[in-house]
Amino acid sequence: MLSKLGILFIIGTLFTSLSIIFLTFKELKVIDNLIPSKIYKFSLFQLFFSISSFFVLLLAYILSDFSLVNVYENSHSNKPLFYKISGTWGNHEGSLLLWINILVLFSSLFLFLTKNSDKSFKILTLLFQNLLIITFLIFLLTNSNPFSELFPVPLEGLGLNPILQDPALAIHPPLLYIGFVGSSIYFSAALAALISKIDSQSFAISIKSWVLVSWFFQTVGILVGSIWAYYELGWGGYWFWDPVENSSLMPWFVMTALLHSILVLERRIGLYSWVIVLSILTFTMSVTGTFLVRSGILNSVHTFASDPSRGLFILSFLVIMVFSSIFIFFKFSPKENKKYSVFSKEAFIIANNWFMIFFLGVVLIGTLYPVLLDTITGSKISVGPPYYNLILAPFLIPLLFLMTSGPNYKWISNEVRSLFNLVLVLSVTLFLITFFLIKEKNFLINLILFFSIYLITQTLFDFYESFKKKNINISRIISHLGFGLLIFFIYINHIFSVENNFNLKLGETKKTDYYTIKFVNLEEQSIKNYKSIIGYFNVSNKKNFTSKELRPEIRVYDKPFTITYEASINSNLFSDTYLTMSNISDTDVFNIKFQVKPFMNLIWLSVLLLSLGGVLNFFKRKKYEKN
């Protein structure tokens, strides 16, 4: 029943999308300034159909309707409701349906919310967006149909993998999808702008909100994803330079570059072609990332069951997309007016863009190199985190410096500013205090710490200044402050992280440099569908004589047989104490991983601050538009 209904709604979406393509194509030849109401109606229907199809799948998951292969393979009637719901997008087919929903949603929102814009630009954007929708609908129907039926209907589903039942894992995919699928709308808009030849300023204004929205969701999605890795994977790290993480970071770099260069374009200073290239690149990177993850040529902790035919489809789509973009770009390349000068805001923004593109290149090479080498020479390699850390770290220094001084320059000016001022003196003092507190010897790390402190002080100072003058560019200040704090805390965390691996028996005590860990008690409990072995540990700090109790768990599930290690984390604003225990081959020896990680919560908060800047900018624009 639900299966047929779902397919019906999908066909409905397909039909309306085709109609929109047909109508917009016809409208291209009509020279007037009115978009016919038919297009608006079809767009509404399209939105209705696609959202309904998603709700049908959601309902099938909630009701545990195992007549759908998808539900049968990924759900179980004993699953908590929350995980039944998140199961909808936790698999390839369901997530594809979510993709299509976001494509459709952005298509309609663009149509209804973009006002006072050139008609042919709007129509063409809609046309390109619907071409994307159609392609993905065909992919869904022919290769990855979430509504495939199963007969006879099984009584129970298969999916109850406890590792995958985690709130952060459940919510981060939709956030990321809104981020990088959302970038499709400015991909379509960029192609439309080329063909319709609209002026650079109105293009910049019409895509800015979309860039902000997708950038915000991408940032938060990456944040939640790394929180999941930190709490659930049990390794105590939060970023592993894993291919999937990389493929969410790559579009983020381009979005960040785009966010900045739009500011230049908005003021008719230049960069039109560049903004268009970036708009195209963002969605291209998103699709490339999806290809790498779903085709199975790279595999990572975030496993999607993969299938070469899917890879082939996404690759063909990518090829068509990239080559038609290149073709359109060179055929209709826009006229530039270049007005920028060396010591001006725009020059700093261009520098920011270079850094973002460089970071993108580094991550892209690191991710693709194993694939290329494997194909060409057959040797199997993996690129470890040292590669990324070694290359990216030195470049943080100039980036931080540019972020510090850049924003205070004026547009189109050539006035050189003196670098010596109160803020610099203050920053040097603060840095020296930090240096004597932490006594870090590595020169590079000290430089990074200094420049992040400089950025933080300068931004706070800017905040005070602009508050006095009452023209607050609060969003920039918040975001840059967040970035400065992020880098600062990441490095402080890096310096002060303690990790100890050792084996303990019940009742024994282990002494490390600063901590004493006592294995106090061991308890066994039977809970609903698993057996839990809980260790009681007493961790006392030798310096300040505080002690904490930590209770790591080993859970043994029987359906399917799975062992999970639940880390016990004692977390406060300044430091996380992290303990995992595991047992090797049923002896009475337990293997303990003990970690102290300072400022974890402040790292999360910094990223939140960074993304908050995006939200503020979005609402500031809305207010600005109204006035």
Binding residues for another protein restricted to 292-351, rule: CB under 8 A: 295-301, 303, 305-308, 311-312, 315, 318-319, 322-323, 326, 330, 333
> Which residues, 239 to 268, sit near another protein by CB under 8 A?
240-243
Q: By CB under 8 A, name the one of 141, 195, 263, 383 that touches another protein.
A: 383
Name which of 12 and 162 has its Cβ closer to another protein: 162
Q: Which two tokens stand for residue 455?
A: 């950025």
Q: What are phi and psi of 558, to 5 degrees?
A: -105, -20
Q: Which two tokens stand for residue 130?
A: 């619907």
Closest distance of CB 385 from another protein, Å: 8
Which residue is it, tokens 């539900």? 71
Name which of 476 and 593 has its Cβ closer to another protein: 593
> Which residues, 568 to 597, sit near another protein by CB under 8 A?
580, 582, 584-585, 587, 589, 591-593
> Which residues, 482 to 521, sit near another protein by CB under 8 A?
501, 503
CA distance 427 to 432: 8
Q: By CB under 8 A, name the one of 15, 48, 55, 235 that touches another protein.
A: 235
DSSP state, residue 96: H
Beta bridge pairs of residue 429: none
> Which residues, 147 to 206, sit near another protein by CB under 8 A?
152, 154-156, 158, 161, 163
> 3-state DSSP call for residue 115?
coil
CA distance 117 to 617: 21
CA distance 336 to 9: 45
Any residues with CB less than 8 A from the CB of 104 and at least 6 apart, and which? 13, 17, 46, 47, 50, 51, 133
The enclosing H or E element of 623 equals helix 600-626
The three-point CA angle 327-214-145 to 5° equals 75
- The reply on whether position 380 binds another protein by CB under 8 A is yes
Closest CA to 273 of 208, 190, 207: 190
Binding-site residue total for another protein (CB under 8 A)?
Answer: 80
485 in Cβ contact with 609 (< 8 Å): yes
Q: By CB under 8 A, name the one of 274, 340, 387, 461 that touches another protein.
A: 387
- The reply on whether position 560 binds another protein by CB under 8 A is yes
Closest distance of CB 253 from another protein, Å: 15
Closest distance of CB 318 from another protein, Å: 7
Name which of 391 and 447 has its Cβ closer to another protein: 391
Closest distance of CB 60 from another protein, Å: 17
Closest distance of CB 364 from another protein, Å: 10
Beta bridge pairs of residue 596: 498, 577
- The reply on whether position 411 binds another protein by CB under 8 A is no
Q: By CB under 8 A, name the one of 559, 573, 574, 625 that touches another protein.
A: 559
Q: By CB under 8 A, name the one of 239, 332, 343, 565 that touches another protein.
A: 565
> Which residues, 65 to 104, sit near another protein by CB under 8 A?
69, 73
Q: Which two tokens stand for residue 526?
A: 């039977």
Count of alpha carbons within 13 Å of 1, Cβ hemisphere only? 4
Closest distance of CB 566 from another protein, Å: 10
Name which of 26 and 505 has its Cβ closer to another protein: 505
